Amino acid sequence: MVAFSFIPKSHHVVMNHLSSFWLFSLLFTTAIAAQESSITRIAFGSCANQSAPQPIWDAINKFDPQLFIWLGDNIYGDIKRPLKVFGKERTFGPWRNTPRFIPSSEEEMKSRYAIAKATPGYSRLHRNAKVIGTWDDHDYGLNDAGKEFDHKVRNQKLMLDFLDEPLDSPRRKQAGVYASYTYGPPNRKVKVIVLDTRYHRDPLRSDGSILGDTQWGWLENELRGPLSEITIIGSSVQVISNISATTGPLFYMESWGRFPKERKRLFQLISDTKRNGVIFISGDVHFGEITRYDCSVGYPLYDVTSSGLVQYVEKVIPYTLRPIIRLLFWYTPSTMRVINEKCKFKSCTYGQQNFGAISIDWNANPVTIRLEVRDVNGHAVLGTNVSLPELQPRGPNILTDPTAKGKSQRHCTLEIDLPGTTRYRLAVLIYFTTAVLAMALLGLIIGVVLTITACVYKCKVD
């Protein structure tokens, strides 16, 4: 301060202006650099029950993603009633008279979002990474709900509050939570599109619309918009895998495969817009899986399903019975599942806690994309490498090429198109096993009754 006391006042003014200019330039350059830095690590996941322990965040933070994408069921906001077969309120069976799931109040939804947001591991991720996402049925407000749900407008605001969406965001003014983002500098751009598969969805079994007319128009504009090297499309339900087609009539899961016309329209739109580098990510089903479909847009479409940040299929199964679940996964026909030596289990389906991870090596020649499902310790349990040139058309589409008709390729036969003997083999196995066990139990009961009767008769004779 003393040294500057001998400098003329005009010099002080000049120096202050110069300091302000350089500070502004530094901040501006830093902001541009942050905005234009290459995205190399993306994490995603779904099905995070806020009321249960969430150790998975430690593994996600260790992966150190620059971007995290919620794929739905970010909280479990609806109320699940007990499973009752008998009594006044029956929630299960052909004679049920009470819904198993009912919506929560607005205050209860806010409370559950607050719990989720305050989870230490997630709070740390939220500080260090950009967080975006969409919703699925349980944070939408009701299990398996679609456009008929009464509280969707109210719950849209709550979900966007959870994601810290700006108050002036277009997402707060539109019908639905769909959105798009673009990251990275030229020649390394990653576009992320998150769809809303709830707000406009027609009833299941209707083969109606999933996205609704307005969202379809928006999606077409996004796909026809500025090019990006990679385009990630996030859907809360599976796009390529249609495992529900092979688990029926035992049970059915929600997927794009339940709406064949919509899925065909989605593939056709990608093809018509000549959008290269498309990768799907999805959730909902409580297990992890990587699938691909080679016969729709001229290059392989991958769908990385990560479901089970907290809720996962093996959670409800006793430890000793889990190998049976893994065997059933292996037995379930899937012509689209990516099968390789990098899978933890032979089925290449993972039914424990997991998150999805995408790693991009922009410096490799060619650029390499690593698609993974990782476990609670951060280890890859499913994975496959894809080079960027693979995600560009390389020849005629097998579905439209007359010379390709009749050819059978592993990743070109939708499960819904499988012969009945293959498609329903899981149901046949379960029904046959159940019948054998029932007959064995009946035989055991008859044997016990006959033995007791013989003993009683013998005692009377004696």
Confidence at residue 421, expressed as pLDDT on a 0 to 100 scale: 85
In three-state form (DSSP H/G/I as H, E/B as E, the rest C), the secondary structure along 95-108 is CCCCCCEECCCHHH
User: CA triplet 234, 239, 242: central angle to 5 degrees?
Assistant: 150
Residue 170 burial (CB < 10 Å; 0-12/13-18/19+)? exposed
Rounded distance, CA 143 to CA 382, Å?
28
Check whether residue 16 and residue 120 sit in a common domain: no
Domain shared by 304 and 362, yes or no: yes
Contact call for residues 163 and 98 (beta carbons, < 8 A): no
Q: Which amino acid is at 27?
A: L
**Same domain assignment for residues 435 and 297:** no
Query: How confident is the prediction for the chain on average, in pLDDT?
Result: 88
Same-domain pairing of 121 and 15: no
Residues 311 and 452 in one domain: no
Do 223 and 355 fall within a single domain? yes
pLDDT given for residue 409 in this prediction: 63
For tokens 């899978």, what's the residue?
A: 343
Q: Do 408 and 446 share a structural domain? A: no
Per DSSP, 206 falls in state S
The DSSP symbol for 238 reads B
13 and 120 belong to one structural domain: no
Question: Distance between CA 219 and CA 211 in Å, rounded?
Answer: 9
Determine the distance from the C-alpha atom of residue 42 to the mean position of all C-alpha atoms in its chain, rounded to a whole number.
Answer: 14
Specify which residues 280 forms β-bridges with.
Answer: 233, 303
Segment (H or E) for 355: strand 355-361
Q: Which domain holds residue 53?
A: 39-421
pLDDT of residue 407: 38
Q: Give CA–CA dist 290/305, Å, rounded.
A: 6
Helical H segments across 241-381, by residue range: 244-247, 260-272, 322-331
Do 112 and 59 sit in the same domain of this protein?
yes
Number of separate domains in the chain: 3
Please indicate, yes or no, whether residues 63 and 101 belong to a single structural domain of this protein: yes
328 and 393 in one domain? yes
Tokens 């099905």 correspond to 47
What is the model's pLDDT at position 111?
98
pLDDT digits (tens, 9 = 90+) for 338-352: 999 989 999 999 999
CA distance 376 to 370: 19
CATH number, domain of 192, equals: 3.60.21.70
322 burial level (CB within 10 Å; 0-12, 13-18, 19+): middle
Express each pLDDT in 256-294 by its tens digit.
999 999 999 999 999 999 999 999 999 999 999 999 999
In a shared domain, residues 394 and 433 = no
Tens-of-pLDDT digits for all 462 residues of the chain?
333 333 344 444 434 443 443 444 433 333 333 457 999 999 999 999 999 999 999 999 999 999 999 999 999 999 999 888 888 888 887 788 889 999 999 999 999 999 999 999 999 999 999 999 999 999 999 999 999 999 999 999 999 999 999 999 999 999 999 999 999 999 999 999 999 999 999 999 898 999 999 999 999 999 999 999 999 999 999 999 878 778 877 878 899 999 999 999 999 999 999 999 999 999 999 999 999 999 999 999 999 999 999 999 999 889 899 999 999 999 998 899 999 998 999 999 999 999 999 999 999 999 999 999 999 999 999 999 999 999 998 755 444 443 444 434 679 988 878 888 888 888 888 888 889 989 999 999 999 998 888 888 778 776
CA atoms within 13 A on the CB side of 35: 8
